[in-house]
Amino acid sequence: MLGPEQTPDRHQWLITATTPDGRFAYLGFTGVWFPRHREREHNQTRPILITDRPVYRPKQSVQFKFWVRHAKYDREDTSDFANRAFTVRINNPKGEKVFEKAYKADEYGGIDGEFALPKDATLGMYYIRLVGIGGGGTAGSKGDSAGPLGTGTRTACLQKGQRTSAPAWPSGA
């Protein structure tokens, strides 16, 4: 097999194989892919966020947990972020800060907490951020990690143009 230095870019290859008794097989017109090792991508700090449910109503409590680790798979099952202090910030859909609290990570780099939505909570997507840790979330500014928290009815939290025929909550909820 040739390496990336000997193989021209953007060429298509027709690969054939023939057995001694005349059987023929081919893999038609495909490119050759050589992985480029991106050490920078594998050395990032990655926070992972989970919440106890995907959608919340006003007056419900949001339970969340972050884990902070380096994105390396050759490391032991320990965290460089164990027992460190972190700040969790939650912004409402208008971008206003509605919650901010300091937490101390556990021995695995985990931070868990709870936030009670007020009775008059603004409906829409709230964003929960682990301040100062970059690289993991969906809508955080540089240096933050973030994840969305949906409030209101299920249909209010769907992406624009999506439809659902299912009820927002099971009966009796």
HSE at residue 40, side-chain half, CA atoms within 13 A, is 1
Report yes or no on 121 lying in a domain. yes
pLDDT tens, position by position, 100-111 = 999 999 998 899
- Residue 15 parent element (H or E): strand 13-18
Examine residue 57 and state whether it is found in any structural domain, yes or no. Answer: yes
**What's the number of domains the chain is made of?**
1
22 within a domain of the structure (yes/no): no
CA atoms within 13 A on the CB side of 38: 7
Pairing of strands 55-56, 45-51: unpaired
pLDDT digits (tens, 9 = 90+) for 52-65: 888 888 899 999 99
Say what the pTM is: 0.59
91 lies in some domain? yes
Q: Is residue 146 a part of any domain in this protein?
A: yes
Residue 84 lies in a domain: yes
- What pLDDT, in 10s, does the model give residues 24-71? 998 877 777 666 666 666 677 888 888 888 888 889 999 999 988 887
CATH number for the domain spanning 89: value is 2.60.40.1930
Q: Is residue 13 part of a domain?
A: no
| Dist CA 143 CA 33 (whole Å) | 33
Domain boundaries, position 133: 42-154
Assess if residue 131 is contained within a domain: yes
pLDDT at residue 167, as a whole number: 41
